[in-house]
């Protein structure tokens, strides 16, 4: 009995569609995905999960897309992905749960933050940023004290949650960690749009040596709104002139209009066929623009190095 005959014998239309998905061309596969997403059920989710181990990268990405839209039909099945023997599948589980935002999955994602595998840890830390929950905030604050690449992900997630409980810890990172983490914390703190916090940032920046001051002022100008800029002028007065002139000169000569002092999202639509996960962060400065060279582990094409200056962008090696 062929696989298709077994699917028919099982009586499940979704089984047939999932099987057809494995054999279809790109156009037909898109139509099948639409059908599966339009009528989700638990059995279909369980069938699609099996596609995450396929060698065909496009097929895996289609499966990932389906699960992000239908996984709540069988959230326990998605949670089990976190314990799969394959590292990539565990990362996929974190990515899907981040999109589903189902509270039942939160304790399991928190558990994965403590896993030894760095890709899974990073994916779990990123996923916690999608849960506006005190448990997420507490775990992320603990993570801030760990190695730099982990702290970057935690800063991103804390900024996304926006809990004011994170402000003191982020201010500590801003003042006491290396320049790259400090820049990331600066952007995160600006996102809170709080006058008192902005004043503390500016008070610290005002005492830095010239080049560092120019860099941080540029980040504040680029990331802040009119209210933030007004606070900057009020606090720095005439001392703002030189950093502002530097900012304008850099902007004039820059191809990119965004500083993007950090970008760490490893989810969402990708321009190539591969799913990527963060390995390490290698900070690199270009004028005052804070850009990063990131080492990624590309599941479809092998390891590759990418540089970018776009906020929250992931790319595969294609």
pLDDT tens string 201-251: 989 988 888 888 888 888 888 888 888 888 888 888 888 888 888 777 766
| Total-model pTM | 0.74
Please report where in the chains the tokens 């004290």 appear, as a residue. Answer: 145
Q: How far apart are CA 47 and CA 42, in angstroms?
A: 9
Q: Which two tokens stand for residue 216?
A: 């941080």
Work out the mean pLDDT of the chain and round it to a whole number.
78
Local structure of residue 165 (DSSP, 8 states): G
Residue 12 is predicted with a pLDDT of 59
pLDDT in tens, the chain (318 residues): 444 444 444 445 778 889 898 888 888 999 999 999 999 999 999 999 999 999 999 999 999 999 999 999 999 999 999 999 999 999 999 999 999 999 999 999 999 998 888 899 999 999 999 999 999 999 999 999 888 889 999 999 999 999 999 999 999 999 999 989 999 999 999 999 888 998 999 899 888 888 888 888 888 888 888 888 888 888 888 888 888 887 777 665 553 444 333 333 333 333 333 443 333 333 333 322 333 333 334 444 433 333 332 333 333 433
Give the per-residue pLDDT at 121. Answer: 94
Q: Which residue has the tokens 């010239």?
A: 210
Digit-coded pLDDT (tens) for 268-277:
333 333 443 3
Strand order from edge to edge, sheet including 304-308: 276-286, 289-298, 304-308
Q: What is the CA radius of gyration of the chain?
A: 22
Q: How far is CA 278 from CA 203, 227, 275, 294, 298, in A?
A: 34, 35, 10, 8, 9
**For residue 246, how many C-alpha atoms fall within 13 Å in the half-sphere facing its CB?**
19
């Amino acid at each position: 009995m062929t696989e298709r005959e077994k699917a028919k014998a099982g009586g499940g239309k979704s089984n047939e569609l999932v099987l057809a998905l494995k054999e279809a061309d790109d156009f037909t596969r898109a139509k099948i995905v639409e059908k599966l997403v339009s009528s989700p059920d638990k059995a279909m989710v369980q069938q699609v999960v099996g596609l995450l181990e396929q060698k065909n990268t496009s097929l895996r990405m289609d499966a990932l897309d389906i699960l992000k839209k239908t996984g709540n039909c069988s959230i326990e099945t998605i949670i089990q992905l976190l314990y799969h023997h394959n590292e990539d599948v565990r990362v996929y589980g974190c990515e899907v749960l981040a999109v589903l935002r189902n509270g039942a999955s939160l304790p399991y994602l928190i558990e994965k933050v403590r896993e030894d595998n760095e890709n899974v840890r990073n994916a779990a830390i990123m996923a916690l940023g999608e849960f506006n929950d005190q448990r997420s905030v507490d775990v992320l604050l603990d993570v801030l004290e760990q190695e730099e690449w982990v702290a970057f992900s935690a800063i991103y997630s804390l900024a996304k949650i926006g809990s004011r409980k994170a402000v003191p810890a982020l201010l500590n990172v801003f003042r006491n960690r290396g320049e790259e983490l400090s820049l990331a914390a600066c952007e995160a703190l600006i996102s809170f749009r709080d006058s008192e916090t902005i004043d503390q940032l500016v008070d610290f920046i005002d005492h830095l040596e010239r080049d560092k001051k120019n860099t941080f002022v540029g980040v504040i100008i680029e990331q802040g709104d009119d209210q933030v800029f007004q606070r900057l002028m009020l606090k720095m007065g005439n001392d703002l002139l030189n950093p502002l002139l530097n900012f304008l000169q850099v902007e004039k000569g820059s191809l990119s209009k965004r500083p993007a002092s950090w970008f760490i999202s490893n989810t969402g639509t990708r321009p190539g066929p591969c799913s990527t996960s963060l390995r390490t962060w290698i900070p690199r400065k270009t004028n005052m623009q804070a850009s990063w060279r990131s080492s990624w582990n590309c599941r479809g094409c092998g390891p590759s190095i990418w540089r970018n200056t776009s906020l929250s962008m992931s790319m595969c090696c294609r």
